[in-house]
Amino acid sequence: MTADAPSQTPAQAQPAPNVDASAVREIAAGVFVIPDHRVPLVPNVGIIIGNDAALVIDTGMGPRNGEHVHEAARRLAGGRRLFLTLTHFHPEHGYGAQAFKGEAIILYNRAQRDELAAKWDAYLGMFRQIFPAAVSDALADTRIVMPDIAYEGPWCEVDLGGRIVELSTAGMAHTRGDQIAFVRPERILFTGDLAEEKTFPIFPWFPPNDTSIDAKNWAAWLAACAELDPAIVVPGHGEVGSVAILNEVRTYLLDLAGEVATRRKAGMDADGIVAELAPAVRARYPEWHFPEWIDFAIRYYSTLG
Ligand SMILES: [Zn+2]
């Protein structure tokens, strides 16, 4: 894959994509997050502890990050059994899974597993090609790891002993196999890249290599997530927050869809719409990070008619 995905920040300014497991913090009793500190290509990582087992959500990118996350989980979980799941297959979320192979029960939804199998190698090549050397370094010796269990259908429960985590997928949105995790009693929701805080939503729109986005479904899913009434939202990237994160992203998606559609009906092409609309969208969200993703979103919506 040689698509010109954005570099997020200039190469020389981009820090190494290292998960800082020492920063792990407890956001509710037995629910931990390793925050991303807004480092590009570092996700928020979740670790949820039950009486008998613990669930890790996302690994960071590459075997060393995966090892750091595994060590943090092992330390918090003691002798409990470990599970690992991913919010989606993207390298910064899941390409550390090999550190868990044989150490945890690895559990993905079927669409995610299939998307990983189909795109694994191309994404590895793309990331090595377009990002700075620190990213290639992080990805060195990365191996594909398939899940021990790929659940069928939209929903799966992970029983950690006295605590159940609900995993669910609603089909293609940010990727083909996005998955949320919900801890219902405490109403804590892990969203992956369906929702990033103060960050322009990532549209991995790299035609012809990758076009697996359904932003209409994505917006609808965010509405369904808001109906869960989460007290705490752990976004894929950015600060842990409230349901407001979900609503802000959904508003962005719906507004942009409408604005692009209006211009398409008026006969504008994608380049023209990007030129006119992207600066205005950027100005509307002055605090949001990674504005380079605006163009990708506009180009995606420009294909819808
Ligand atoms: Zn992603």
pLDDT tens column, 42-82: 999 999 999 999 999 999 999 999 999 999 999 999 999 99
Written as six digits, the tokens of 255 are 């507004």
* Interval between CA 88 and ligand 1 midpoint (Å): 7
**Does pLDDT of 179 surpass 50?**
yes
What's the gap in Å between 67 CA and the centre of ligand 1?
21
Separation of 175 CA from ligand 1 center, angstroms? Answer: 7
Residue 175 CB: number of other CB atoms within 10 A?
27
Distance 51 CA to ligand 1 centre (A): 31
Q: How far is the CA of 266 from the centre of ligand 1 (A)?
A: 32
The rounded Å distance from CA 202 to ligand 1 centre is: 7
Q: Could you tell me the distance, in angstroms and rounded to a whole number, from the CA of residue 174 to the centre of ligand 1?
A: 7
Q: How far is the CA of 267 from the centre of ligand 1 (A)?
A: 32
Average pLDDT, the chain: 95
Measured CA distances, 118 to 3, 92, 93, 114 (Å): 16, 17, 16, 6
Mean pLDDT value of segment 170-194: 97
Q: Cβ(259)–Cβ(272) under 8 Å?
A: no
Residue 12 has pLDDT above 90, yes or no: no
Q: How far is the CA of 201 from the centre of ligand 1 (A)?
A: 9
pLDDT, tens digit, for every residue of 93-137?
Answer: 999 999 999 999 999 999 999 999 999 999 999 999 999 999 999
Report yes or no on whether pTM surpasses 0.85: yes
- The count of other CB atoms within 10 Å of the CB of residue 257 is 17
Rounded CA separation 24/227 (Å): 28
Angle between helices 293-302 and 244-265 (to 10 degrees): 50
- 84 forms bridges with which residues in the sheet? 56, 106
Provide the pLDDT for residue 305: 67
* CA 36 / ligand 1 centre spacing (Å): 14
Query: Is pLDDT of 8 > 80?
Result: no
Query: Within the chain, where are the H helices?
Result: 62-77, 91-94, 110-130, 133-139, 215-227, 244-265, 270-284, 293-302
The two beta strands, 81-85 and 53-57, are parallel
Q: Which residues contact 206 (CB under 8 A, 6 or more apart)?
A: 1, 3, 4, 5, 126
- Domains of the chain (ranges, CATH numbers): 11-243 (3.60.15.10)
**pLDDT given for residue 4 in this prediction:** 43
- C-alpha of residue 90 to centroid of ligand 1, in Å: 5
| Residues 141, 19 contacting (CB under 8 angstroms) | no
Q: How much is the average pLDDT of 248-272?
A: 97
Q: What is the 192 CA–ligand 1 centroid distance (Å)?
A: 7
Radius of gyration of the chain (CA): 18
CA of 212 to the centre of ligand 1 (A): 12
Per-residue pLDDT at 242:
98
Check: CB of residue 245 under 8 Å from CB of residue 195: yes
Q: How far is the CA of 245 from the centre of ligand 1 (A)?
A: 16
Which of 6-20, 52-66, 124-138, 188-202 is predicted with the least confidence, judged by mean pLDDT? Answer: 6-20
Q: Is pLDDT at 7 greater than 70 in this prediction? A: no
Least confident stretch, 8-22, 43-57, 289-303: 8-22
> In angstroms, what is the span from residue 204 Cα to ligand 1's centroid?
8
* Alpha carbon of 193 to ligand 1 centroid (Å): 5
What is the per-residue pLDDT for 9?
Answer: 47
- How many A from CA of 116 to the centre of ligand 1? 12
How would residue 14 be classed by pLDDT, with cut points 50, 70 and 90? confident
Mean pLDDT across 138-150? 96
